[in-house]
Amino acid sequence: MSTETEARFWNRTSRAYAAGKIVDRAGYQCTLERTRALLGSSDRVLELGCGTGTTALELAGHVYSYVATDLSTEMIAIAEEKRAVDPVAGLSFRTATADMLSPTDMQFDVVIGFNYLHLLRDLPGTLGRIYALLARNGQFISKTPCIGDMNPLIRHALLPAMRALGKAPYTGIFRAADLCRSIDAAGFDIVATEDHAARGNDNSPYIVAHKR
């Protein structure tokens, strides 16, 4: 899929995505609480791949400003619907990707990407863009499935079949160790790698990294 095709995929599935339940609610709450503890009231935050805005609405009230972005116009439309019901000062939604944002126009203290990095076609390039968007000593916080550490049937059979049927977007396959090396190579120091799954390891490490 191209970026445009992927945007159409998420536009088409946005309402079903919004109606879906969070599978590991306890693990998600752990991630929210840990992230809140890392954010400061004066922080300017960028969230990439915000989906329908659930996490943004939970976190934005704890910082100075929060820009939540997604490549899907329909996802952002749903996020705006949620914000209209539950307004949060300093929160804005934008249809954008990391490549569409200019480091010369905006700098952030924190960049967040949850369930995001495995959907990138150019992981090193996007990590480089995130580095450029961060202010000095900025933080990058991520949590994403490392499919290379999962059951081989998922990456060799299930995902290819779902993509062939148009039921899944592009998905990068890497191990947690590979992801950490990519983050390090982009100019970050990883200060924490955590497992927030409520039951066992779900192979979605929560990573906190600081810009060198």
Q: Which two tokens stand for residue 100?
A: 């569409």
Q: Is the pLDDT of residue 115 over 80?
A: yes
Can you tell me the mean pLDDT for 86-96?
Answer: 96
Q: Is the pLDDT of residue 1 over 60?
A: no
In this structure, what CATH number is given to the domain that contains residue 130? 3.40.50.150
CA 165 to CA 6: how far, in whole Å?
A: 14
Q: Is the pLDDT of residue 11 over 60?
A: yes
The pLDDT tens digits of the residues spanning 126-135 come to 999 999 999 9
**pLDDT tier at 158, thresholds 50, 70, 90:** confident
List helix spans (H) across the chain: 3-19, 25-38, 54-59, 73-85, 123-133, 152-153, 159-164, 176-185
CB 144 within 8 A of CB 113: yes
